[in-house]
Structure 1
Amino acid sequence: MKYISLITWTDQGIQAAKDSPKRLDQAREMGQGFGVKIEEAFMTMGDVDMVCIVDAPDDESYARFGLRLCQNGAVRTRTLKAFSEDEYRRIMNGL
């Protein structure tokens, strides 16, 4: 299953922005324990500081990963469940 994670740095996270690449590496490593893979990560400008494309086996695994990720206090996340083009076409064909 694919997810798009919209990440914002907390006050604590922005104070340690220089450490953000190290935190991303740690998040990737931690994700393995949940069966979660951060496939792509982008730093963005605007209301969101980073966007990640994530693969997880199911919603529960991703939820556990996301909650654990936020426990360090450096980030907050908003998650969008994403459908592949094939899934999108099947959904639309079912209307």
Structure 2
Amino acid sequence: MPTYITLLSWTDHGARHSRDTAERAKAFGSAVQKLGAKLLSIHWTVGPYDLVAIIEAPDDETASAALLQLGEVGNVRSTTLRAFGPEEMERIIAKAAG
């Protein structure tokens, strides 16, 4: 399944309710699972982003739907990156080589 790395920043609302962040993360994991994806891990970070989530989803549409649901709650803004593992990268390199 494709992997997505999501960089999350709290909104003002999310920061005001930071005590609920662990419970919100659990709820996000459940919501992602209902869509057929999986929250592999979530990390609270120091720096320009407040959290980093690693998600597996069957396709871009499913990953996008999960992140739209997350954004609708209003606690975070997200930037998502499609990540490629070693095997995927080998296939990409092979395609590029012709």
* TM superposition score normalised by structure 2: 0.93
Q: Distance in 1 between matches of 2:37 and 2:71?
A: 15
Q: Distance in 1 between matches of 2:92 and 2:81?
A: 17
Q: Secondary structure at the match of 2:66?
A: helix
Q: Distance in 1 between matches of 2:42 and 2:34?
A: 19
1:82: Cα distance to partner? 0.6
Q: Distance in 2 between matches of 1:57 and 1:66?
A: 14
1:77: Cα distance to partner? 0.6
Q: Distance in 2 between matches of 1:26 and 1:94?
A: 39
**Where does residue 36 of structure 1 map in the other structure?**
37
**Where does residue 64 of structure 2 map in the other structure?**
63
Report the number of matched residues.
95
Structure 2: 5+ residue stretches without partners: none
Q: Distance in 2 between matches of 1:89 and 1:48?
A: 30
Q: Secondary structure at the match of 1:13?
A: helix
Structure (1/2) with the larger helix percentage: 2
The letter for the 1-side match of 2:73 is N
**Where does residue 87 of structure 1 map in the other structure?**
88
**Where does residue 18 of structure 2 map in the other structure?**
17
1:92: Cα distance to partner? 1.7
Identity, % of aligned positions: 36
1:94: Cα distance to partner? 2.7
1:93: Cα distance to partner? 2.7
